[in-house]
Amino acid sequence: DQIGDAAKKLGDASYDFAKEVDWNNGVFLQAPGSFQPLKALKAIDKMIEMGAAADPELLKKAADAHHKAIGSISGPNGVTSRADWDAVNAALGRVVASVPKQKVMDVYDAVKDITDPKVPAYMKSLVNGADAEKAYQGFLEFKDVVAANQVTTASAAATVPTGDKIGTAAKALSDASYPFIKDIDWLSDIYPKPLPGKTAPETLKAIDKMIVMGSKMDGNLLKAAAEAHHKAIGSIDATGVTSPEDYEAVNAALGRIVASVPKQTVMDVYNSMAKIVDPSVTNNMFSKVSPLDASSAAKGFYTFKDVVEAVQ
Ligand code: CLA
Ligand code: PID
Ligand code: PID
Ligand code: PID
Ligand code: PID
Ligand code: PID
Ligand code: PID
């Protein structure tokens, strides 16, 4: 297709730049400017809306392309092979083309809003400037091909199951865990801190397992889960906490996407996360909330998971 051909040209123009970026640099975990959690949540909300509008099959393929690319990483900078670099660009270009232009621009504008204007120049200073310019020229040509292949109307909303066992169980889970949710400091700057003692390549392994799980999920249910998050963001209070109803809808939606993949795929995520999250991190989270509320939430979760497993 045209986007695939254009991705090869983009690769010619950008692979030198890709090799020069230190993908293992811890700086990428930091907010791209001052820390403004509510504004950042708005930017993420725009990405969620874009993800929910995207063609689920193309999202799956993009997840697969990323998984494959992680498998061909080499060298200290963590760069993938040239072929996989091109394949990721092509897959993302197709995802972009599957949503109306305005949804993409909304992400760009919201991200710009939380990005310090000095950040791009700083990023450029870490690589060969001429190679960055060459990559950007390549991107400008690529985006015209994407625009020429772009849909103009948004896809239909997802179909949300009703009256299913997971929906019923989500009500009980949400009642048991909403007090815990209210105890959590959602606006804290602790969540983007580096995991103690873990390197980027180690962390990437766990993310790879999530990508694999995401790729196996039912596309309609994943879309529904993204829509439920978007709705929940719309009802947050000043502390970032969503309404009980929207929280319940998120739990139901996530239970359903978990049930749409094999148990082992879920356990692979859990086990890989357990390898990189030191118990001190979990204990620190626990120390900031009411222990009774946390244990009620945990009990609710362990009951919920049996319902999920039964329909998995
Ligand atoms: Mg989420 C999970 C935040 C968007 C899909 N997500 C999580 C949690 C964290 C979070 C609260 C990971 C850390 C953790 O396990 O804490 N997500 C979060 C934010 C946003 C977002 C702030 C921003 C909008 N997510 C989002 C989108 C999607 C997902 C758009 C795609 C549709 N997210 C997703 C999945 C999962 C998460 C599939 C998880 O599996 C993970 C999670 O919650 O695992 C348990 C602990 C969890 C909480 C504090 C909230 C849930 C409370 C439960 C239901 C009960 C509590 C149990 C117990 C006390 C603690 C966990 C024990 C542990 C051993 C499992
Ligand atoms: C400017 C001035 C003009 C010239 C110009 C110009 C530049 C415009 C530009 C630009 C626009 C632009 C857009 C970019 C957009 C990037 C979008 C990224 C989206 C990320 C998402 C992430 C996610 C997920 C995911 C799916 C999940 C949801 C999420 C589900 C269902 C200024 C040059 C034209 C770069 C969507 C993918 C996992 C949130 O206009 O004169 O330069 O760049 O998890 O959804 O699972
Ligand atoms: C524009 C203007 C509108 C019209 C429009 C428009 C276009 C927007 C577009 C577009 C956005 C867009 C984005 C693309 C992004 C591609 C990103 C590629 C990333 C590849 C990576 C590969 C890799 C790895 C990996 C992880 C490793 C690092 C690597 C570590 C720690 C402008 C059309 C709407 C194409 C990251 C995965 C293995 C490098 O908005 O008018 O057209 O395209 O090895 O991580 O090692
Ligand atoms: C300039 C002037 C214009 C021309 C121009 C120009 C240059 C702009 C530039 C540039 C922008 C730019 C951006 C770059 C962005 C790279 C982003 C990389 C992200 C990597 C990540 C990696 C990671 C992980 C991971 C998970 C870990 C955390 C991490 C935990 C919990 C100035 C040329 C356009 C290079 C996210 C995945 C392992 C961080 O605009 O005239 O030149 O470069 O380790 O999670 O640990
Ligand atoms: C233990 C001991 C027993 C008792 C027990 C026990 C506990 C087990 C547990 C537990 C397992 C467990 C699993 C959990 C799994 C969480 C999984 C999260 C996945 C997140 C993903 C994120 C993503 C995306 C997304 C889609 C994108 C890709 C991504 C596309 C196509 C130990 C109690 C049984 C909590 C997948 C969603 C946006 C990466 O066994 O004695 O306690 O918890 O962007 O994909 O866009
Ligand atoms: C288990 C054992 C295996 C069998 C199995 C199994 C089950 C795994 C499961 C499962 C995992 C799982 C995960 C669930 C997670 C739910 C998370 C809910 C999060 C809700 C949020 C709501 C909100 C917001 C929002 C953003 C705001 C904050 C809030 C800010 C900054 C165990 C079946 C495989 C259900 C985060 C979105 C508005 C609070 O593996 O043997 O069954 O379920 O307002 O952000 O303000
Ligand atoms: C313990 C002992 C067992 C019993 C038990 C127990 C407790 C475990 C616990 C607990 C785990 C736990 C986890 C918590 C996790 C909270 C996660 C919140 C994530 C929030 C995010 C918010 C954000 C953003 C956002 C984007 C911004 C960055 C942020 C930028 C660029 C010990 C009870 C099971 C509470 C990610 C989205 C706005 C950070 O196990 O016997 O008690 O709690 O602002 O992006 O700025």
In the chain, what percentage of residues exceed pLDDT 70?
100
- Please give the pLDDT value at position 279: 96
The CA distance from 69 to 215, in Å, is 14
> Counting atoms of ligand 5 from 1, which one is nearest the CA of 274?
32
User: What local confidence, expressed as pLDDT, does residue 15 receive?
Assistant: 98
Predicted confidence at residue 106, as pLDDT, reads: 98
pLDDT digit string, tens, across residues 189-217: 999 999 999 999 999 999 999 999 999 99
Q: How far is the CA of 119 from the centre of ligand 4 (A)?
A: 9
At residue 232 the predicted structure's pLDDT band, cuts being 50, 70 and 90, is very high
> What pLDDT, on a 0 to 100 scale, did the predictor assign at position 38?
98
* Pocket perturbation via mutation, ligand 3, pick of 17, 58, 143 by most ligand atoms within 8 A of CB: 143
**pLDDT value of position 280:** 96
Q: Tell which residue, 223, 221, 229, has the closest CA to residue 55.
A: 223
Mean pLDDT of 148-174: 96
Q: What's residue 295's pLDDT?
A: 98
Average pLDDT, the chain: 98
- Name 304's Cβ contacts closer than 8 Å, sequence gap at least 6: 169, 170, 172, 173, 251, 255
Q: How far apart are CA 311 and CA 92, in angstroms?
A: 33
Residue 42's pLDDT band (cuts 50, 70, 90): very high
- Best residue among 112, 124, 139, 142 to mutate for probing ligand 4's pocket (most ligand atoms within 8 Å of CB) is 124
Using pLDDT thresholds of 50, 70 and 90, give the confidence band for residue 244: very high
- From the CA of 52, the nearest ligand is 2
pLDDT at 217: 98
Q: How far is the CA of 109 from the centre of ligand 4 (A)?
A: 17
Residue 247: pLDDT band with limits 50, 70, 90: very high
Q: Is residue 154 a contact partner of residue 71, using CB atoms and an 8 Å limit?
A: no
Using a 6 Å cutoff on CB, does residue 204 contact ligand 4?
Answer: yes
pLDDT band at 128 (very low <50, low <70, confident <90, very high): very high
Cα–ligand 7 centroid distance for 113 (angstroms): 25
Kindly report whether the global pTM for this prediction surpasses the value 0.90: yes
Q: Which residues of 82-103 are buried (b: 16+ CB within 10 A; e: fewer)?
A: eebbbbbbbbbbbbbbbbbeeb
Q: Where are the alpha helices (DSSP H) in 149-262?
A: 165-183, 200-216, 219-234, 244-259
Instruction: At 171, give phi and psi (nearest 5°).
Output: -65, -50
- Ligand 1 pocket check for 260: Cβ under 6 Å: no
pLDDT grade, residue 158 (50/70/90)? very high
Q: State the pLDDT confidence band at 311, using cuts at 50, 70 and 90.
A: very high
CA distances from 207 to 5, 90, 194, 213 (A): 29, 21, 14, 10
What local confidence, expressed as pLDDT, does residue 306 receive? 98
ipTM: 0.98
Q: How far is the CA of 21 from the centre of ligand 2 (A)?
A: 20
Q: Which one-letter DSSP state was computed for residue 26?
A: G
* Arithmetic mean of pLDDT, 104-108: 98
Quote the ligand 5 centre to 250 CA distance (angstroms): 15
Question: Looking at ligand 7, which atom is closest to the CA of residue 41?
Answer: 38
Q: Which residue has the tokens 């970032």?
A: 240
3-state helix, strand, coil in the chain (%, to 5): 70, 0, 25
Q: What is the mean pLDDT of residues 247-265?
A: 98
pLDDT of residue 123: 98
